[in-house]
Amino acid sequence: MIAIVVHEFSHGYVAYLMGDYSAKQDGRLSFNPLRHLDFVGVICLIFFKIGWAKPVPVNPYMFKNRKKGIVYVSLAGVVSNFILAVFSIIFMCFLYNQNTLYVQILYLFFYNLAAVNIGLGVFNLIPIPPLDGSKVLAQLLPMQTRIKYLNFERYGGLLLFVLIYFGNLSRYLNIALTYIFQLLFNIIAGVIL
């Protein structure tokens, strides 16, 4: 819940900074989870272990610089997830080697928060529409290719579902998550501990 709310808020806030007030007018510049939850996305998360939030409304025609605006807004959610993961790991390091039950529960909370945020960040970097990585990639493509690529968006959700449940995407995501988590933990622990 925390990861999704921060992710969606970040999209909306950066869009606001780039000149688009759609998210603000829609009441989405909020940390209230109810403003970001999508009913079907929550049900799928419970039953299928993959879900989504209600997308923040973004009007790229309002951006001062459209191309930069799309890239910055798309990356904002991913960057916010990695920042949240870093702070979670910092808290983990401060709680490391303390054996009270309360501290162990907190440690586990921050461990899971870091893992979920890294997982969400990595997942959203996949360049399959409608994920954030696809929007960044689209801005790097020539116009004709970009149009064809973005037309693929209506099939992107189905493709992701197939890749996760019938392909090896989950395995590769877990490898990336484990590697990034361990790398961040080693760097941060090396500084703090």
Active-site residue set = 8
Q: What is the DSSP letter of 159?
A: H
Which tokens hold the place of 64?
Answer: 């001062």
Rounded to the nearest 5°, which phi and psi values hold at 59? Answer: -115, 95
Return d(Cα 7, Cα 168) in angstroms, integer.
25
Show Cβ contacts of residue 146 under 8 Å, excluding neighbours closer than 6 positions.
Answer: 138, 139
Return d(Cα 101, Cα 169) in angstroms, integer.
36
Q: What is the DSSP letter of 151?
A: H
User: Tokens 């923040």 sit at which residue?
Assistant: 56
